Structure 1
Amino acid sequence: MPVQTQKKERKIKPIDGNSPTVRKMDFEGLDQLSDYYVAGNSFITHTVNAYHVIFPEGERFFIKSVKAFADQVTDPDLQSRIKGFIGQEVQHGKEHEKALEMLEKQGRPVSRILKFYAKTAYGFFWPVLEFIFGKKLKLAVTAGLEHYTASLGEVSLKYNLHDQAEGEMRNLLLWHACEEIEHKSVAYDVLQTISKSYVLRIFGFIVASVMFWGYAFTLQHLFIFSDPKIGFRRYFADLISARSYAKLIVFEVGKMSLLYFKPGFHPNQTGGYDLANAALATI
C-alpha cells in the first residue's frame, strides 16, 4: 500500500520545457524513513539507493560535459536553458547527498560504495573514453543518459511509482522526475549544435546504456550484499515481489530507449510535460 505523506506547503513554479526553472526544495525528514522505504521492499529500495550514489557525481559529470561546449552555443534561448539545466542539476545533487547522509545513519557502507563508483567510473572509464574519443563523446553520453533519466521519470509518474516511497522521499523522487522531463532536451540540443553526427549520438547512447543499467545493478547488489537483514530467503522473496515493478520499468524504459535510434529523433517528441506539471502540483 502507498505510504501517505503529509503535504508541506510549497510555492512551486510550473514545468516549462522551454525555460527550465531552478526550484530549491530542501527536503526534510529523510532520516526518519524506514530501512526499506519503498514499498517495504529491500530489492526496490536498494535500487533507489544505488541511484542516490550515482546521481550526485553523475549530475556534476553532466554539468561539466555541457559546460565544455556552452561557449559554442549562440542561440540565446538555448543559452538560457543551459543555465536552468545546470542550476537544476546542482540542486538534484544536493538533495541526493542528503539521502546519502540518511543511508549512512542507517549503517549502510555509503563511503565504500561511493568510492568504488567514483574510482571505476570517474577515475578509469571516463578518462579512458575521453582520451580515446574526446569530449564530444562525453556530451553524447550525457544526452543519452538524460534520455534515460527523463524516460525513467515519465514511467514513474505515469504509473505513480513514487507513491510507494515513504515521507519526503516520495516528494524528492517525484520532483527529480519532473525536472528531468523539463530539461531533457538541453544536452541533446547542445550536442546537435556541436555535431549532428548520428554515429556519435548512437555510440554515446550505447555507452550510456551500459553505464545506466550496469551501475544500477552493480551498486544495488553492493547495498544488498552488505545488508545484514537480507539473507537468501529475503533476497528471493523481495525479488519475486518486485518483479512487476522491474518488468514495468525495463519494458517501458526499454521501449522509450528504442526511440533514440530513430534518425529524426528529438526528446520533445516523447512529451510528458503535462504529466510532470500535474505531478509536481502534488508535492
Structure 2
Amino acid sequence: MTVQTSAKKRNIKPIDAKSPSVRKMDFEGLDRLSDYYIAGNSFVTHTVNAYHIIFPEGERFFIKSVKAFSDQVTDRGLQNRVKAFIGQEVQHGKEHEKALEMLEKKGYPVSRILKFYVKTAYSFFWPILEFLFGKKLKLSVTAGLEHYTATMGEISLRHNLHDQAEGEMRNLLLWHACEEIEHKSVAYDVLQTVSKSYLLRVFGFIIASFMFWGYAVIIQHLFILSDKNIGLKRYFADMKNAGPYVSLLWTDISKSFGIYFKRDFHPDQTGGYELANAALATI
C-alpha cells in the first residue's frame, strides 16, 4: 500500500511539557480516505475507529474530572497546565468527531455504537462508581488513562506507526499522540495535589485498564460486524497481518503497566518529549 500524506504545512508551536500549547489544527479531507485507511488492514483500521468513538466523550470525562478539583490547585504553573490540558482535550474531541462524521458517511452505524458506549459507560457504570467511591476516583482513572494514551503515543512515534495511516489521518493521529505526551503529567499532578494515596492511584488505574481496553475491543468488533466487506476469511487474515502492530503495542503497554505500580512513579520519568517535538515538526 502507498500511504498518501498531506503536503499542507502548518506553523506549530513546539512541545513544552512545562507550558503546553493549545493547537487548533482543523484537519481536512478525512472523507477522502479509503475504507481501510491504516496499512490497508481492516482489523487495525477498526481498532482506530473504536478510538474515534471513545476519545471525544472520554476527553470530556477527563476535563470534568480535572476541573472538579481545579480550585484546589494553588501552584501557578500547574494552574496554567490545567488550562492548556483542557484546551487541548477540547480540540482532540473536535477532530475525532470529524472522523466520526467520515465513518457515518461510509455507512457505519456510528450513532448506534456511540449511543451504546455513552449509555453503558457514562449513564450506567460511572454514576455507580462515583456514588460508591466519589469524584477522586474519576480523577485517579483520568490520570491512569492519560498514562495509557501517552504510552500509546510514544509507541506510535518510536515505531512510526502513524505513517501507516493515509493523508490527514496520519497527521491527526500524530498530533494527538504528541499532545498526549506533552500533557501526560497534568491529571497525575492534580491527583497528587488532591490525594497522595497510593491505593487510590492504583485502584483508579486498574479500573481505567478494564474500561479502556474492554470498550476498545468491543467497539472495534461492533465496527467489524457492521462491515459487509469483512467475512471470516478476511477477518482472520487481517488479524494475522496485524500481529506485528499488536505485538509492538502490547510489549510496551505491558511494561508501562508495571511502571505505574511503582510507589515513586511520575509520568515525567518516561520522557518522550524530544521524540514528540521532532515528530510534531513533520506535520
**What is the CA–CA distance in structure 2 between the aligned matches of 1:115 and 1:239, rounded to whole Å?**
27
Aligned residue number for residue 201 of structure 2: 201
Partner of 2:101: 101
Q: Aligned residue pairs: how many?
A: 283
For residues 204-283 of structure 1, the aligned pairs below 5 Å read 204-283=204-283
Cα gap change, 1:275/1:2 in structure 2, threshold over 3 Å: closer, same or farther?
A: farther
* 1:92 equivalent in structure 2: 92
Other-structure match for 2:3:
3
Determine the C-alpha separation between the residues in 2 that align with 1:258 and 1:108. Answer: 37
User: How far, CA to CA, are the matches of 1:122 and 1:6 in structure 2?
Assistant: 36
Rounded Cα–Cα distance in structure 2 between residues aligned with 1:46 and 1:6: 22
* Unaligned segments of structure 1, at least 5 residues: none
> What SS does the corresponding residue of 1:174 show, helix, strand or coil?
helix
Letter in 2 for 1:263: R
1:32 partner amino acid: R
Q: Deviations over 1:96-127 (max 9, x none)?
A: 00000000000011000000000000011110
Question: Equivalents in 1 of 2:70, 2:104: separation in Å?
Answer: 36
**Counterpart residue number, 1:113:** 113
The reply to whether residue 144 of structure 1 matches residue 144 of structure 2 is yes
Paired position in structure 1 for 2:164:
164
Letter paired with 1:184: K
CA positional deviation for 1:4: 3.2
AA aligned to 2:45 is: T
Whole-Å Cα distance in 2 between the matches of residues 4 and 124 of structure 1?
41
One-letter amino acid of the counterpart of residue 164, structure 1: Q
User: What is the SS of the residue equivalent to 2:37?
Assistant: coil
Aligned pairs for 1:54-133 within 5 A: 54-133=54-133
| Structure 2: distance between partners of 1:148 and 1:6 | 28
Distance 2:21 2:199 in 1: 32
Listed one character per residue, the Cα deviations across residues 162-196 of structure 1 (whole Å, up to 9, x for unaligned) are: 00000000000000000000000000000000000
The secondary structure found in structure 2 opposite 1:71 is helix
Structure 2, unmatched stretches of 5+, are none
Deviation at residue 2 of structure 1 after TM alignment:
5.5
Is the 1:2–1:165 contact (alpha carbons within 8 Å) kept by the matching residues of 2? no
Q: What is the CA–CA distance in structure 2 between the aligned matches of 1:6 and 1:30, rounded to whole Å?
A: 11
For 1:137 and 1:54, the matched residues in 2 are separated by 19
TM-score relative to the length of structure 1: 0.99
Deviation at 1:257, TM superposition (A): 2.0
Q: Give 1:174's aligned residue.
A: 174
Determine helix, strand or coil for the equivalent of 2:72: coil
Q: Tell me what 1:24 maps to.
A: 24
Contact 1:185 1:268 in 2 (8 A): yes
Q: Give the Cα–Cα distance (whole angstroms) in 2 for the partners of residues 149 and 5 of structure 1.
A: 23
Structure 1 contact 29–168 (Cα < 8 Å) conserved: yes
Q: After superposition, what is the alpha-carbon deviation per residue over 1:62-103, rounded to whole angstroms, capped at 9, x for unaligned?
A: 000000000010000000000000000000000000000000
Query: Alignment identity in percent?
Result: 77
Three-state SS of the structure 1 residue aligned to 2:7 is: coil
The normalised TM-score by structure 2 is 0.99
Equivalent residue letter for 1:246? V
Matching residue's letter, 1:203: F
Shift of 1:212: 1.5
The answer (yes or no) to whether the contact 1:21–1:88 under 8 Å persists in 2 is yes
Give the secondary structure class of the aligned counterpart of 2:68: helix
Q: Are the structure 2 counterparts of residues 2 and 67 from structure 1 closer, same or farther at C-alpha, using a change threshold of 3 Å?
A: farther
Give the match's secondary structure for 1:202.
Answer: helix
SS in 2 for 1:142: helix
Q: Which amino acid aligns with 1:73?
A: V
Native 8 Å contact 1:52 1:100 kept in 2: yes
**Gap change, CA 1:2 and 1:136, over 3 Å in 2:** farther
Q: Could you tell me how far apart the structure 2 residues matched to 1:218 and 1:53 are?
A: 11
- 1:37 maps to which residue? 37
